[in-house]
Amino acid sequence: MNYNWDWSVLFCFVEDPVSSCTQPFFYWIVSGFGWTISVAAAAWVIAFSLGSVIGVLRTVENPYLRGFATVYVTIFRNIPLLVQMFLWFFVFPELLPDEAGKWVKRGMPLPEFWTAVVCLGTYTASRVGEQVRAGIEAITQGQRYAAMAMGLRPVQVYRYILLPVSYRIIIPPLTSDFLGVFKNSSLALTIGVLELTAQTRQIEEYTFQGFEAFTAATLLYIVVTAIVMAVMRVVEGRVVIPGMISLGAK
């Protein structure tokens, strides 16, 4: 392979026309990393809160609420994420009334960023919703009866019994979904968010040092996901229910 390795492009802090630093590439990576974290964090807020609501609705008695949640999961889980990204960005604004459509496209601040956040958030919510539902359904009917028998109202049964236990049960798959939202944020580049992967590609185009640039991005993704996994393992240990068997990840 005839390739001239040049790791120095990753450490270009200022423009320096005499070297290969035609641009401050280091800060491009920093900026891209920042956007990646921002998209993922904001999308996770939506995914977790909306997903919890969807998951709860999937288990309630009211057939309309349950039906709504089922339709939601079916739609958002079954359309490829990339297609959803395009639908949100190109199609959704056209379906709105004129003024609102214009605002979504140009008026609101950071349209690409927020579109990506909403898209990733609503998609991941369908997955979180299924985890929450599975967690709630893993709790025996007897627990529900006991909670009801002492006079708790349905909302209280969920708030104090079903959700606290179910979140503990589903920490491992929830961690996977959090990692998923972080990695999937790279698709935001397709609608113009200059996140980590987009910046990496841009560095390749400017320098032809694609291996170095993608190595940097890969390492950053892995470092963050490894940190998340470590943190979640600690969380899992903290909230473990005393006396209940939990082997946990070693």
Partner 1 sequence: MPMIEMSSVNKWYDDFQVLKDCSTQVAKGEVVVVCGPSGSGKSTLIKTVNGLEPFQEGTITVDEISVGDPATDLPRLRARIGMVFQNFELFPHLSIMENIKLAQLKVLNRTDDESAKRGMELLDRVGLVDQADKFPAQLSGGQQQRVAIARGLAMDPIAMLFDEPTSALDPEMINEVLDVMTALAEDGMTMMVVTHEMGFARRVAHRVIFMDEGRIEEDCTKDDFFGTARGERAQEFLSKILTH
Residues interacting with partner 1, by CB under 8 A?
Answer: 140, 142-143, 145-153, 156, 160-161, 164-165, 168, 241-244
- Alpha-carbon span 58 to 55, nearest angstrom: 5
Q: Tokens 């990733």 correspond to what residue?
A: 120
Q: What is the DSSP string of 106-136?
A: IISSSHHHHHHHHHHHHHHHHHHHHHHHHHH
Q: At what angle do helices 111-137 and 171-184 cross, to 10 degrees?
A: 160
Q: Which is nearer to partner 1, 164 or 237 (CB)?
A: 164
The residue type found at 84 is Q
Measured from the CB of residue 57, what is the shortest distance to partner 1 in angstroms?
Answer: 20
What is the DSSP code (8-state) at residue 164? H
Measured from the CB of residue 245, what is the shortest distance to partner 1 in angstroms?
Answer: 8
Give the HSE-up count for residue 57: Cα atoms under 13 Å, Cβ half-sphere.
21
Q: Which is nearer to partner 1, 41 or 148 (CB)?
A: 148
Measured from the CB of residue 146, what is the shortest distance to partner 1 in angstroms?
Answer: 4
Measured from the CB of residue 234, what is the shortest distance to partner 1 in angstroms?
Answer: 18
The residue type found at 203 is I
Measured from the CB of residue 239, what is the shortest distance to partner 1 in angstroms?
Answer: 8
Query: 20: which residues sit within 8 A by CB, 6+ positions away?
Result: 6, 8, 9, 12, 207, 209
Query: 113: which residues sit within 8 A by CB, 6+ positions away?
Result: 35, 38, 39, 188, 193
Measured from the CB of residue 59, what is the shortest distance to partner 1 in angstroms?
Answer: 17
Q: Which is nearer to partner 1, 147 or 188 (CB)?
A: 147
Q: Which is nearer to partner 1, 11 or 160 (CB)?
A: 160
- Alpha-carbon span 22 to 13, nearest angstrom: 10
Q: Which is nearer to partner 1, 17 or 151 (CB)?
A: 151
Q: At what angle do helices 63-78 and 111-137 cross, to 10 degrees?
A: 120
Q: Which is nearer to partner 1, 95 or 150 (CB)?
A: 150
